[in-house]
């Protein structure tokens, strides 16, 4: 170990973060002082709900279509233009010119719910080398990697014999990565073709080509290309799923958000149209975020994703309301029955009507849906309360254990209707969210609990595309939720995902394109809270003239081997802080060998991560050799720090917890 490495290692261990000798000296001269006192005695401790921190998934920013759902073909059924023909087939395009190929759509599909098919007429007798045909670039280019296999499924019909080639090429069509030919097959009726393409090269912006050199007419429908190595074979993009697993979520709220309702009810998410064989799902246009989805990621897949993440599913359904048209209480009954059917699909036995459908899809076991949200951000709409009560009463009768979530905010005054939880959303500036760390201090402890299902700093000047400053304000807010976890039961950041090619909403926790991904500082901030659910919260006090810029919480948590006292501190100000941490009531000694400190900070409070610098603002963990019941450290300006003190007498403490 050279001197420079040893120096910085020691500085990190003591939490002495600096950018240069001059900067460190200036910080020491301007440093504030603070005493943080933690009472670890069990008498004043309280268990945090097991479900406190989780995830909210909305189909926004191409989070699912072109995101975590690994389907590589966009508009695979040619339905994106609606049921009328000729239809918009974007992003499909032709290979050739008007003299060699003619493309249109008709309603000749073998699938009744998505009747549009593509008709390709090859006009040339002496076609150019490589043939003519169609290609699909997927979602801003397909990521094809050497040595990996891709499963192609498509439905084809032709009244004549065909000589068809399916290929994966780079976006310019010049580099051929994989090819397979289709010959000698009777295609006089719609025929399902399945084949595997093994990539012989890598191209980050590839496309699927379907070409021929033989004059004739070929119809295509439901063309799908999926990587063979999705997460557990369930269709989810592995690297994005791993990032979710890293957060250890306790619940998954889905599928929206505004995506649930649509601007118009005709474009709302219809769960029963998103289950069953993918070829028969009609898909729909999400008119709030303005893109088509084939609904390969449907109700069943959301339930499956929750199970894969070890998270409780929270089903957000349409309350008969959209942004522009609403259903009054006199015609709400079909919507109520629809929701009861959706719950039977998830929770019903294999013998039940809808439970049997789930079983045929490969999941005979019931999905443990224990929470439903009746609508999304609908409280102020005319018919919401009347509709809500219809849903509430029907669900309570059929499923007494299900916890129902109202859209109305009960944090300041009691609700005027029954609910188990109420939904609270906050998008604001960094300064405002930091101050909201005390938001629920005075909220009534009687009645429904709080579900903070959407929170984030979204003021452009504060956050850019996801800044350190935003993450610090959010961290402070979450320490307040921990402190008030007797009334706050669940919380989730929003939005979760953004495809960098479709930043409809900014910022987001996880940024990706076809082959890369990174977490924003807000994502990494959440890793500090992944052990909080089900842990023990302790009283904590901050004594400092600088306390208006500080936020803190203290929990006791355990892993498979050890138990830890975690003290988290946000420094939301421009000054360093000479900090003393005093822990009272410890019933065990501190094991310095296993104690650590983790710091999230950077050279500028508006620093962001990016594809070129994905780790510019990430937590840094190091040993804490000075860990003890009372210890000193220097907090960097604009930083989030977690002290994890490993405690001795593990078995005794676990028994007392």
pLDDT digits (tens, 9 = 90+) for 393-436: 999 999 999 999 999 999 989 999 999 999 999 999 999 999 99
- The answer to whether the bond into 354 is cis (omega within 30° of 0) is no
Q: Buried (b) or exposed (e) across 560-594, using 16+ Cβ within 10 A?
A: eebbbbbbbbbbbbeebbbbbbebeebebebbeeb
| C-alpha span between 117 and 114 (Å, rounded) | 8
Provide the 8-state DSSP code for 229. Answer: T
Q: Of 4-8, 171-175, 379-383, 641-645, give the range with the top mean pLDDT.
A: 641-645
pLDDT digits (tens, 9 = 90+) for 332-345: 999 999 999 999 99
- Give the model's pLDDT for residue 328: 76
Cβ-contact 498, 591 below 8 angstroms: no
- Give the model's pLDDT for residue 353: 98
| C-alpha span between 536 and 557 (Å, rounded) | 7
Handedness of CA 48, 50, 55, 57 (dihedral sign): negative
pLDDT digits (tens, 9 = 90+) for 186-210: 999 999 999 999 999 999 999 999 9
Q: Is the pLDDT of residue 20 over 70?
A: no
pLDDT digits (tens, 9 = 90+) for 552-608: 999 999 998 899 999 999 999 999 999 999 999 888 899 999 999 999 999 999 999
| CB-count burial class (<10 Å; 0-12, 13-18, 19+) for 268 | buried
| CB-count burial class (<10 Å; 0-12, 13-18, 19+) for 189 | exposed
pLDDT digits (tens, 9 = 90+) for 484-540: 999 999 999 999 999 999 999 999 999 999 999 999 999 999 999 999 999 999 999
Q: Is the pLDDT of residue 446 over 70?
A: yes
Cβ-contact 200, 148 below 8 angstroms: no
Q: Which residue has the higher pLDDT, 12 or 237?
A: 237
Average pLDDT over residues 634-650: 92
pTM: 0.94
- Give the model's pLDDT for residue 29: 55
**Joined tokens for residue 52:** 């406190």
**Joined tokens for residue 598:** 């983790």
Q: DSSP assignment of 323-382, as one string?
A: SS-B--TTS-HHHHHHHHHHHHHHHS-TTSHHHHHHHHTT--SPP---EEEESSS-TTST
- Give the model's pLDDT for residue 100: 97
Provide the 8-state DSSP code for 477. Answer: H
pLDDT digits (tens, 9 = 90+) for 608-617: 999 999 999 9
- Give the model's pLDDT for residue 31: 86
Q: Which residue has the higher pLDDT, 21 or 88?
A: 88
Q: Is the pLDDT of residue 24 over 50?
A: no
Which has the closest alpha carbon to 643: 6, 29, 40?
40
Task: Given CATH 2.60.40.1180, say whether it is the number of domain 32-48+535-647.
Answer: yes
**Joined tokens for residue 368:** 């443990």
Fold of 54-70+231-527: TIM Barrel (3.20.20)
- Give the model's pLDDT for residue 464: 95
- Tally Cβ neighbours within 10 Å of residue 57: 28
- Give the model's pLDDT for residue 193: 97
CA-based max dimension of the chain: 88
Which has the closest alpha carbon to 153: 50, 223, 200, 233?
223
In terms of CATH architecture, what is 93-103+119-218? Sandwich (2.60)
Cβ-contact 114, 190 below 8 angstroms: no
Provide the 8-state DSSP code for 485. Answer: T
Give residue 16's pLDDT band: very low, low, confident or very high (50, 70, 90).
very low
pLDDT digits (tens, 9 = 90+) for 98-129: 999 999 999 999 999 999 999 999 999 999 99
Angle between helices 333-347 and 299-309 (to 10 degrees): 40
Reduced 3-state DSSP string for 289-339: CCEEECCCCCHHHHHHHHHHHCCEEEEEECCCECCCCECCCCCCHHHHHHH
Give residue 15's pLDDT band: very low, low, confident or very high (50, 70, 90).
very low
- Give the model's pLDDT for residue 652: 52
Which has the closest alpha carbon to 282: 322, 224, 238, 222?
222
Q: Is the pLDDT of residue 251 over 50?
A: yes
Helix (H, G, I), strand (E, B) or coil at 220: strand
Q: Is the pLDDT of residue 57 over 60?
A: yes
**Region of 634 on the Ramachandran plot (φ > 0 left; ψ -120 to 50 alpha; else beta):** beta
CA of residue 644 relative to chain centroid, distance: 27
Cβ-contact 18, 215 below 8 angstroms: no
Q: Is the pLDDT of residue 18 over 80?
A: no
Mean pLDDT of the chain: 93
| CB-count burial class (<10 Å; 0-12, 13-18, 19+) for 188 | exposed
**Angstrom distances, CA of residue 73 to CA of 86, 132, 298, 499:** 20, 19, 16, 15
- The C-alpha R_g of the chain, in whole angstroms, comes to 28
Q: Which helix (H) or strand (E) holds 395?
A: helix 384-398
CA of residue 176 relative to chain centroid, distance: 34
Q: Which residue has the higher pLDDT, 17 or 216?
A: 216
| C-alpha span between 81 and 103 (Å, rounded) | 15
- Give the model's pLDDT for residue 83: 77
**Lowest model confidence (mean pLDDT) among 7-21, 156-170, 251-265, 463-477:** 7-21
| C-alpha span between 549 and 410 (Å, rounded) | 28
- Give the model's pLDDT for residue 331: 86
- Give the model's pLDDT for residue 81: 82
Cβ-contact 240, 326 below 8 angstroms: no
- The answer to whether the bond into 541 is cis (omega within 30° of 0) is no
Handedness of CA 107, 112, 114, 120 (dihedral sign): negative
- Give the model's pLDDT for residue 656: 55
**Angstrom distances, CA of residue 528 to CA of 140, 244, 378, 643:** 34, 14, 32, 10
Q: Is the pLDDT of residue 7 over 50?
A: no
Provide the 8-state DSSP code for 132. Answer: E
Which residues partner with 607 through β-bridges? none
- Domains of the chain, residue spans: 32-48+535-647, 54-70+231-527, 93-103+119-218
| C-alpha span between 587 and 96 (Å, rounded) | 77
Contacting residues for 651 by C-beta, under 8 A, at least 6 apart: none
Percentage of the chain exceeding pLDDT 70: 94
**Joined tokens for residue 223:** 């063309």
């Amino acid at each position: 170990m050279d001197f420079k490495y040893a120096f910085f290692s020691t500085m990190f261990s003591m939490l002495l973060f600096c950018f240069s000798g001059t900067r460190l000296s200036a910080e020491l001269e301007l440093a504030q002082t603070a005493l943080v006192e933690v009472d670890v005695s069990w008498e004043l401790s309280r268990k945090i709900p097991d479900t406190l921190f989780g995830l909210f998934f909305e189909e926004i920013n191409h989070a699912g279509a072109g995101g975590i759902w690994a389907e590589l073909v966009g508009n695979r059924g040619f339905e994106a233009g609606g049921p009328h023909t000729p239809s918009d087939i974007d992003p499909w395009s032709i290979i050739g010119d008007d003299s060699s190929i003619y493309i249109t759509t008709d309603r000749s599909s073998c699938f009744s719910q998505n009747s549009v098919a593509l008709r390709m007429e090859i006009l040339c007798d002496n076609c150019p080398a490589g043939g003519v045909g169609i290609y699909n670039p997927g979602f801003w280019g397909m990521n094809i990697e050497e040595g990996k296999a891709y499963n192609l499924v498509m439905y084809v019909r032709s009244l004549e014999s065909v000589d068809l080639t399916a290929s994966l090429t780079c976006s310019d069509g010049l580099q051929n990565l994989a090819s397979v030919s289709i010959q000698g097959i009777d295609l006089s009726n719609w025929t399902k073709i399945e084949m595997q393409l093994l990539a012989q090269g890598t191209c980050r912006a590839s496309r699927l080509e379907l070409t021929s050199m033989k004059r004739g007419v070929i119809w295509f429908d439901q063309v799908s290309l999926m990587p063979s190595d999705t997460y557990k074979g369930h269709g989810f993009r592995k690297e994005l799923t791993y990032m979710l697993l890293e957060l250890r979520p306790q619940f998954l709220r889905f599928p929206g958000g505004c995506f649930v309702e649509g601007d118009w009810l005709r474009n709302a998410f219809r769960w029963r149209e998103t289950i069953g064989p993918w070829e028969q799902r009609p898909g729909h246009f999400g008119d709030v975020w303005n893109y088509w989805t084939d609904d390969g990621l449907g109700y069943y897949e959301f339930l499956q994703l929750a199970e894969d993440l070890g998270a409780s599913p929270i089903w957000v359904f349409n309350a008969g309301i959209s942004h522009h048209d609403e259903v009054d209480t006199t015609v709400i009954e079909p919507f109520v029955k629809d929701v009861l059917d959706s719950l039977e699909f998830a929770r019903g036995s294999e013998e039940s009507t809808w439970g049997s459908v789930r079983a045929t899809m490969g999941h005979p076991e019931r999905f443990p849906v224990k929470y439903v949200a009746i609508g999304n951000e609908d409280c102020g709409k005319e018919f919401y309360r009347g509709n809500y009560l219809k849903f509430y009463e029907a669900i309570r009768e059929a499923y007494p254990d299900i916890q129902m979530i109202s859209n109305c905010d009960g944090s300041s005054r009691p609700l005027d209707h029954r609910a188990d939880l109420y939904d609270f959303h906050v998008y604001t500036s960094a300064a405002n969210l930091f101050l909201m760390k005390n938001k629920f201090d005075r909220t009534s402890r009687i009645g429904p609990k709080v579900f903070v299902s959407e929170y984030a700093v979204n003021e452009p000047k504060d956050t850019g595309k996801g800044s350190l400053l935003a993450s610090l304000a959010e961290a402070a807010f979450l320490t307040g939720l921990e402190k008030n976890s007797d009334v706050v039961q669940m919380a989730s950041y929003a939005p979760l995902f953004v495809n960098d090619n479709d930043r409809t909403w900014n910022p987001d926790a996880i940024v990706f394109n076809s082959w890369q991904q990174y977490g924003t500082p807000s994502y990494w901030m959440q890793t500090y809270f992944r052990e909080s659910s089900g842990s023990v919260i302790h009283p904590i006090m901050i004594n400092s003239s600088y306390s208006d810029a500080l936020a803190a919480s203290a929990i006791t948590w355990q892993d498979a081997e050890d138990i830890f006292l975690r003290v988290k501190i946000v420094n939301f100000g421009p000054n360093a802080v000479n900090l003393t941490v005093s822990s009272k009531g410890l019933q065990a000694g501190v094991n310095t060998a296993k104690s650590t400190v983790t710091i999230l900070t950077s050279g500028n409070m508006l620093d962001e991560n990016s594809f070129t610098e994905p780790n510019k603002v990430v937590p840094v963990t190091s040993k804490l050799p000075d860990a003890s019941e009372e210890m000193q450290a220097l907090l960097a300006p604009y930083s989030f720090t977690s002290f994890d003190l490993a405690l001795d007498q593990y078995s005794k403490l676990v028994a007392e917890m």
